[in-house]
């Protein structure tokens, strides 16, 4: 019999059938392959290192898609990204659409945050978060995958929505370093200001959508679908009081805040706009001083900073938009005790940069920017971790980096002593999703 791999015609070799049982979440999967047994010259090679059968088995494992699927399916995303550089075969396999969907349709928690700073135009500071899926090295500090300087507009489940100085818009995957350029709008006007929001959820579809609001004979809405590759004009129109720059995707809808105390949402399946009053004790008794929208597993979350109390209240609206209910009370007294410098003559100085809902309740955290500090506060288990200390860096922050929204506080701050630009926090979630 001719040898399967290598060897000489006079080399004797017998074949051995090997069965491997791999346990999965739902059942056990049996993988069977054939490997050569060590006889004759093959035994002589065992003293000089790896035997012929070991080499053959390693090569077989490396080329078996069934076995690679079972192994890679269990690895964290960061490990998969590193394995993409092992070989061209593994790179193509890991990036294949079949494996991306099988591996884990639900995104991992953010590994870190990108902040756009005041120190340089379109330069981003990367801050790793306290999760097990570490990415300590910045995936990038500037984006230059096309002409001009690239600015991040939004992050959504591993993808970034970006734009350059020439009104070109992109969807970029920073993990795989792939991007696509969006086509021009149907009613493109170089003098019109476009406000865009990215919608992507791999658990629902491998395709994404981009919603654009702009002024053209009134406020016009267009939707781009990566499946069709085209923009579609909607009959729906938003009013002038909607904060279109801060759209948030969640549960197949785009959400915006509108003045006064109103939630506006566009359902992407029906392509219909709707409005909902924010009826919470804070909005009726105190009025909202600051607000922050985020997605939760059961609906959408609204972080409310009240002007008369030292706490943040987080309210949840259900997926059916039926009612608001209190989800968390975040007492800031513990934070003040650790960082008393956030107390000034004008009140509490801090800014909510991000809200992260972890896979476990106790992993949920809020990221706050204080004078000279960036911290994460796991409010369920009441633990505080410092992410960055600006005062130890070369460019010192005299008054801290936050940018408050209230008018009476703005006179205390200038662009020189802010650290990050308001609303410039973007989640980095390692993802293999195609663009």
- pLDDT recorded at residue 214: 87
Phi, psi angle pair for 46, to nearest 5°: -70, -25
- pLDDT recorded at residue 11: 39
Burial 256-287 (b: 16+ CB within 10 A, else e): bbbeebbbbbbebeeeebeebebebebbeebe
Q: How far is CA 278 from CA 230, 237, 288, 311, 414, in A?
A: 34, 20, 10, 19, 32
CA torsion sign, 129 to 135 to 139 to 142?
A: positive
H or E segment and range at residue 197: strand 195-199
Region of residue 245 (phi > 0: left; psi between -120 and 50: alpha; otherwise: beta):
alpha
d(CA 237, CA 349) in angstroms, rounded, equals 37
CATH 2.120.10 fits 112-428, yes or no: yes
Which tokens belong to 12?
């004797």
Residues 379 and 364: beta-carbon distance below 8 Å = yes
CA 30 to chain centroid: 36
* Cis ω before 260 (30° cut-off from 0): yes
Spans of the chain below 50 pLDDT: 1-48, 52-53, 56, 394-417
Name residue, tokens 């981009």: 210
Residues 56 and 4: beta-carbon distance below 8 Å = yes
SS3 323: coil
Which tokens belong to 366?
């809020």
Q: Where are the domains of the chain?
A: 15-103, 112-428
The pLDDT tens digits for 342-400 are 887 777 788 888 999 887 888 899 999 887 788 999 999 999 999 888 776 544 433 33
Phi, psi angle pair for 187, to nearest 5°: -110, 55
Residues 185 and 214: beta-carbon distance below 8 Å = yes
Which tokens belong to 411?
């006179």
The pLDDT tens digits for 20-46 are 444 444 444 444 444 444 444 444 444
């Amino acid at each position: 019999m001719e040898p399967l791999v290598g060897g000489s015609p006079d080399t004797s070799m017998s074949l051995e059938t090997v069965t491997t049982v791999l346990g999965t979440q739902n059942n056990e999967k049996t993988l069977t392959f054939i490997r050569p047994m060590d006889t004759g010259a093959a035994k002589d090679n065992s003293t000089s290192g790896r035997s012929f059968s070991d080499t053959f088995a390693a090569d077989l494992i490396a080329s078996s898609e069934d076995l690679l699927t079972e192994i890679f399916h269990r690895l964290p995303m960061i490990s998969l990204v590193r394995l993409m550089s092992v070989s061209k075969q593994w790179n193509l396999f890991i990036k294949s659409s079949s494996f991306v969907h099988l591996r884990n349709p639900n995104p991992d928690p953010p590994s870190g945050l990108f902040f756009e700073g005041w120190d340089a135009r379109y330069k981003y500071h990367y801050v790793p978060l306290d999760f097990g899926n570490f990415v300590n090295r910045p995936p990038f500090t500037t984006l230059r995958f096309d002409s001009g300087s690239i600015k991040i507009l939004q992050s959504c489940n591993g993808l970034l929505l970006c734009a350059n100085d020439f009104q070109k818009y992109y969807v970029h995957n920073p993990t795989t370093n792939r991007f696509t350029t969006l086509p021009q709008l149907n009613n493109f006007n170089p003098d019109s200001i476009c406000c865009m929001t990215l919608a992507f959820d791999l658990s629902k579809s491998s395709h994404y959508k981009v919603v654009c609001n702009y002024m053209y004979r009134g406020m016009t809405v267009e939707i781009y679908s990566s499946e069709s590759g085209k923009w579609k004009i909607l009959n729906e129109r938003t009013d002038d009081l909607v904060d279109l720059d801060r759209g948030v995707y969640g549960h197949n809808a785009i959400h915006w805040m509108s003045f006064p105390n109103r939630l506006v949402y566009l359902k992407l399946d029906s392509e219909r706009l709707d409005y909902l009053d924010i009826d919470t004790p804070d909005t009726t008794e105190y009025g909202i001083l600051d607000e922050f929208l985020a997605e939760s597993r059961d609906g959408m979350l609204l972080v409310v900073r009240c002007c008369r109390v030292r706490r943040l209240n987080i309210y949840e609206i259900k997926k059916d938009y039926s009612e608001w209910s209190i989800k968390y009370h975040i007492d800031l007294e513990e934070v003040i005790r650790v960082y008393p410098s956030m107390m000034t003559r004008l009140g509490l100085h801090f800014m909510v940069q991000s809200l992260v809902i972890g896979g476990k309740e106790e992993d949920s955290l809020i990221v706050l920017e204080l004078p000279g500090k960036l911290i994460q506060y796991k409010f369920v288990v009441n633990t505080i971790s410092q992410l960055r200390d600006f005062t130890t860096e070369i460019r010192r922050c005299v008054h801290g980096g936050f940018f408050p929204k209230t008018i009476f506080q703005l006179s205390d701050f200038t662009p020189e002593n802010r650290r990050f630009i308001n609303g410039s926090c973007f989640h980095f979630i390692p993802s293999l999703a195609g663009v």
